[in-house]
Amino acid sequence: MDKVVQKAIASDKRWRAVYIACGLLIVALTLLMGAFLLYQGSQTFIKAHHSIWEFLFTSDWAPLDKTGLFGGKVGAAVYIVGSLETCLLALIICLPFAIGSAVYMTEISPKIGEKYFRPATEIYVSIPSVVYGWFGMTKLVPLIKNIFHPAMGGYSVLAASIVLAIMIFPTITTVSADAIKSVPMSYREGAYGLGATRWQVIGKVVLPAASGGILTGIILGLARAIGEALAVSMVIGKTRSFASNLLSPTSNLTSAIAADMGNTAQGGEYNLALWTMALLLFIISIVLIVLIHKLANGKKDK
Amino acid sequence: MEDKITIENLNLYYSDFHALHDVNMHIQKNEITAFIGPSGCGKSTLLRCLNRMNDLVEGCRIEGSVKLDGTDIYGGDLDVTVLRQRVGMVFQRPNPFPMSVYDNVAYGPKIHGVTDKQELDEIVETSLKQAAIWDDLKDRLNKSALGLSGGQQQRLCIARALAVKPEVLLMDEPTSALDPISTSKIEELALQLKKDYTIVIVTHNMQQAVRISDKTGFFLLGDLVEFGETDQLFSMPKDERTERYITGRFG
């Protein structure tokens, strides 16, 4: 065989090995991280003999912070509810704006939308979360305090939700806009041909046809919101009690982990309980991602 | 016979491109009028002028007039949604909405204000019967329309157009994406519908024009070369260009 060809084949094989190794490394890292979280996170139940029920549904939070000493309380319901309520409220606040913007930049004014609106929206994504938190702390919290005069100051579920809403806005908007754009022109023509107005076309044909993609955007946004730690912890108040209303402070999973992780004794009950919270976040993210894939495949089957 | 649609000195421009030149035509009630001609000759463009679908095309400009029962549709006396309800359209590729058969047909009446469930049921049934597809679909009204065959989808689209009780039905090469059996069903349907509607059909298929139309217009490069009785146009064309096209010696 020709020498040049032999060399090319050898180099091809070498590179193939390098790429396979890189791919495997990533897969292995992900699996390892999952396995590690699963191991660490389950110790609260295995080693410290707490029940899953206690962790998820009770709010007595008094884990012992000494290596090897168990017998405290690990009810994380305050944090779990805090995470869920801020995310859901953020979604409710964000959704009308996000879908409105997506419709605007695809249906109403595609030229301006593509030229200015989409780049502007994408810049939002790249702003570090500490900036959002800083903005929330210095502008939003005082604003809430001055408008509503809550007893505990402006640090609140509402502040956290608004900051999260701003943070997930670009994700939901751009994904929804792509979904709306991919609705075939023939659907619009069909509806216009029946004498529909622009709003009837958008509301009753385009948006329903794009609903799968919009839902994907919502789930992606939720996944970002549930995992956001810094910005939320800066404005939520971090008090370990349920919020009695939207204006009272509370805490959430990510804030608690971020605040206490470094200060707990390795292998202590407190430390293990925080690992369990991290595992819970991981599970929520996986569920959301599986949902996205289910939705995407469901669309294809049609 | 009275004019249903009168087209006078119609010129159409896509930005700088002059796509239709001085078209004059009288489309008569309860007749099938066919537009034939090679690709890009302007026949679909003219069809889309009749219900102002060209409004959706950026840079499209129209001069001259199109009158529906004597009212200029570009004059501002007729709202475009009312116009499109009176002048329905069936497209080249079947384009049912991604919803159930029932919702597809009920979409038009719903946006025009029909809310009564019983009335909607009746409209859906009569429209599907008129489109000769009721027997095929009566047990699948709640199934997705996207699961139907191409021919069924196209007849569903015809039913959807009929559900808003139009006076004119525009068909833009309605059978070009269909097999011969579905095509003949659509042609039969068109012949039945002309009793109650005025039909304008664009077709690539000259035999189709001969089979179903009363009048035929032949277009070439944006000009209406010849317009007249279908039998006469195909047997004794007046213009040499028409003769060359219909005998296949074109180009």
B23-66 pLDDT tens trace? 999 999 999 999 999 988 999 999 999 999 998 888 899 999 99
Residues A191, B97: C-beta atoms closer than 8 Å: yes
Residue corresponding to tokens 């939070």: A61
Chain B residues whose CB is inside 8 A of the A180 CB are none
Contact A249, A159 (CB under 8 A): no
Domain boundaries, chain B: 1-245
Q: Which fold has domain B1-245?
A: Rossmann fold (3.40.50)
Which tokens in the block code for residue A199?
A: 């709003």
Which tokens in the block code for residue A97?
A: 């704006």
CA distance A83 to A56: 13
At B129, which amino acid appears? K
Which tokens in the block code for residue A48?
A: 């410290």
CA B128 to chain A, closest CA, distance in angstroms equals 16
Burial class (CB in 10 A: 0-12, 13-18, 19+), A146: exposed
Which tokens in the block code for residue A248?
A: 């009272």
B186-233 pLDDT tens trace? 899 999 999 999 999 999 889 999 999 999 999 999 999 999 999 999
Domain boundaries, chain A: 1-50, 71-296
Residues B164, A195: C-beta atoms closer than 8 Å: yes
CA torsion sign for A113, A119, A125, A131 is: negative
Q: What is the helix (H) or strand (E) element at residue A57, kind and residue range? A: helix A52-57
Nearest to A189 among B95, B99, B160 (CB): B95
3-state helix, strand, coil in chain B (%, to 5): 40, 25, 35
Tell me how many degrees the CA angle B245-B250-B251 measures, rounded to the nearest 5. Answer: 145
Q: Where are the beta strands (DSSP E) in chain B?
A: 3-14, 17-28, 32-36, 60-68, 71-72, 87-90, 168-172, 198-202, 215-220, 223-229
CA distance B203 to B37: 8
A217-231 pLDDT tens trace? 999 999 999 999 899
Q: Does B42 touch chain A (CB under 8 A)?
A: no
Which tokens in the block code for residue A41?
A: 């996170």
Residue corresponding to tokens 């002059």: B18
In sequence order, the 6+-apart residues with CB closer than 8 A to the CB of B58 are none
Residues A195, B111: C-beta atoms closer than 8 Å: yes
φ, ψ of residue B194 to 5 degrees: the values are: -70, -15
A105-153 pLDDT tens trace? 999 888 888 889 888 888 888 889 999 999 999 999 999 999 998 877 8
Chain B residues whose CB is inside 8 A of the A186 CB are 91, 93, 95
Among all residues of chain A, which has the CA nearest to that of B166?
A194
Averaged confidence pLDDT in chain B = 91
The ipTM estimated for the assembled molecules is: 0.90
Among all residues of chain B, which has the CA nearest to that of A209?
B98
Q: Does B111 touch chain A (CB under 8 A)?
A: yes
The pLDDT score that the predictor gives to residue A302 is 43
CA B236 to chain A, closest CA, distance in angstroms equals 36
Q: Does B246 touch chain A (CB under 8 A)?
A: no
CA distance A152 to B93: 63
**Three-state secondary structure call for residue A61:** strand
CA A209 to chain B, closest CA, distance in angstroms equals 6
Among all residues of chain A, which has the CA nearest to that of B91?
A190
**Three-state secondary structure call for residue B21:** strand
CA A99 to chain B, closest CA, distance in angstroms equals 20
The pLDDT score that the predictor gives to residue A301 is 44
Which tokens in the block code for residue A62?
A: 């008094």
Residues A195, B112: C-beta atoms closer than 8 Å: yes
Please tell me the pTM assigned to this model.
0.83
The architecture in CATH of the region A71-296 reads: Orthogonal Bundle (1.10)
The pLDDT score that the predictor gives to residue B250 is 65
Q: Which of A171, A90, A176 is CA-nearest to residue A123?
A: A171
Residues of chain B above pLDDT 90, percent? 76
